[in-house]
Amino acid sequence: MKNGGRIEAAIQVLDDVMNRHQPVKSAMRDWGKRARYAGAKDRAWVSGLVLDALRHRNSLAYAMQSEAPRVLVIGALRHVWDWDLKDIESALKDEHAPAALTGEEREGLLLAPDPSAPPHVRGDFPEWLTPHLTRVFGEDTVIETQEMSVRAPVDLRINTLKADPEKAGKAVKTAGGKPSELLVNGYHIPAPDPSQRETSLQSIPAYSKGWVEVQDAGSQIAAAAGNAKPGDSVLDYCAGGGGKTLALAAMMEGKGQVFAYDIDGRRLSALIPRLKRSGAHNVQLCHPKEPEALEALTGKMDLVFVDAPCTGTGTWRRKPDTKWRLKESALAKRNEEQAMILDKASEFVKPGGRLLYATCSFLAEEDEDQVTAFLERNDAFRQLDAVQSVIESGQLTDAGIDIVRRNQIPGGAVRLTPRKAGTDGFFFAVLEKKA
């Protein structure tokens, strides 16, 4: 495909996302079915442009004076991909390209960013979130949120049940991987140019052999804060896709027991092939249709890990369409769910055991507010130093320990952000049940 056709395709996909409320993956899949002629590079190019238009939706609409999908896509070429105006005009002359630029569009493409624009414009986030973000980041709100609008890297966790970092690392290097600066058993693949196709990790033998797992560095650090030891009894209460389940099982060297539970049994079923590939034999699934298996664990766990359902604000780099679908009512609903989940999960912690609460969110209402409210309701628990728990796990490099220390907040919890840690947005707190 020529660039003009790719631009037209991006407009169609973005229209499906914005006006038909489709997730980007679904919209791209549907377009791909209609465009069988499009190759892998074409799909990557179109997807990259759509995602960047969404990442910068507010600032592009402000500069271009329109939120129409066509205008956002063309604006992204200039203001995000740094195309020259002449290159854009040339592409729009291609066969199957959209119509030529209007005078208003050309004017918007020539404008420089306006430093006087409102914070939600410069930071590209929903306006209603302004007080929530300002509460957490203060004067740094725009800087922090701008870093949430860039393309995210790929982080890998070396599965130490099957390979060591040196052995797996040799294979990962073929995909551009480099040792993580933060994690002893991690590798990092920098984000490619937005118009380029990401490396398919599934095609790397190390992946199919179970030597590596895709897991954001922030998620790996949160798992490390659990400080699970060989022989422990651990409950991953909101296991989901199982990323932290597998990380905890590896930290325990296959000894002890990890129980994976999720209210959605379908998600647990999806974990089964991952378990087989990873070689984690110390994991048992607790299906929601068999509640007696979960209830038998009451008061017996050394560690209960709660990666609570949340607004997902910390994943905006990877899922920019979700930030524009987020509503204030959804935040309130999540807050109610988080409180109930914390109360229920705490029942499984034995005296002297630990409860780790984590979210992929940077909103205080989902993070420290939940921890504070829980401790007020449950005087049997006390908050521990999460940084010390991470250090004791032995999973972080010296640089990683320094990053975690610098991102500790009052009370002992840790909040990571793309700007300050280079990870997705993540929060975690460690609580102990008094003996």
- List the CATH number of the domain containing 367: 3.40.50.150
Does 404 reside within a domain?
yes
Residues 228 and 183 in one domain: no
Model pLDDT for residues 131-168, shown as the tens digit of each residue? 999 999 999 999 999 999 999 999 999 999 999 888 88
Give the structural domain span for 16.
3-110
Residues 17 and 36 in one domain: yes
Residues 307 and 423 in one domain: yes
Nearest to 251 by CA among 352, 412, 351, 389: 389
Residues 390 and 413 in one domain: yes
Could you give the number of structural domains in the chain? 3
Q: Which residue type occupies 359?
A: T
DSSP readout, 280-316? --SEEEE-TT-HHHHHTTTT-EEEEEEE-----GGGT
**Quick one: pLDDT at residue 195?**
66
**Quick one: pLDDT at residue 208?**
87
**Quick one: pLDDT at residue 200?**
66
The CATH number linked to 189 is 3.30.70.1170
Q: Which residue has tokens 């994991």? A: 283
Residues 72 and 187 in one domain: no
pLDDT below 50 — which residues of the chain?
none
**Quick one: pLDDT at residue 276?**
92
Packed helices 217-225 and 243-251: angle between N→C axes, nearest 10 degrees: 50
Q: Which residue type occupies 240?
A: G
Does 121 reside within a domain?
no
Q: Which residue has tokens 């073929």? A: 174
Residues 103 and 167 in one domain: no
Is the pTM higher than 0.85? The answer reads yes
- Residues with a catalytic annotation lie at 360
**Quick one: pLDDT at residue 257?**
97
Residues 264 and 166 in one domain: no
Long-range contacts of 141-148 (CB under 8 A, 24+ apart): 143/419, 144/362, 144/417, 144/418, 144/419, 144/420, 145/119, 146/122, 147/417, 147/418, 147/419, 148/124, 148/316, 148/317, 148/417, 148/418, 148/419, 148/425
DSSP readout, 360-402? S---TTTTHHHHHHHHHH-TTEEE--HHHHHHHHT-B-HHHHH
Do 109 and 380 touch, CB atoms closer than 8 A?
no
**Quick one: pLDDT at residue 36?**
85
**Quick one: pLDDT at residue 199?**
63
Dihedral of the CA atoms 79, 82, 87, 89 (nearest 10)? 0
Model pLDDT for residues 64-81, shown as the tens digit of each residue? 999 999 999 999 999 999
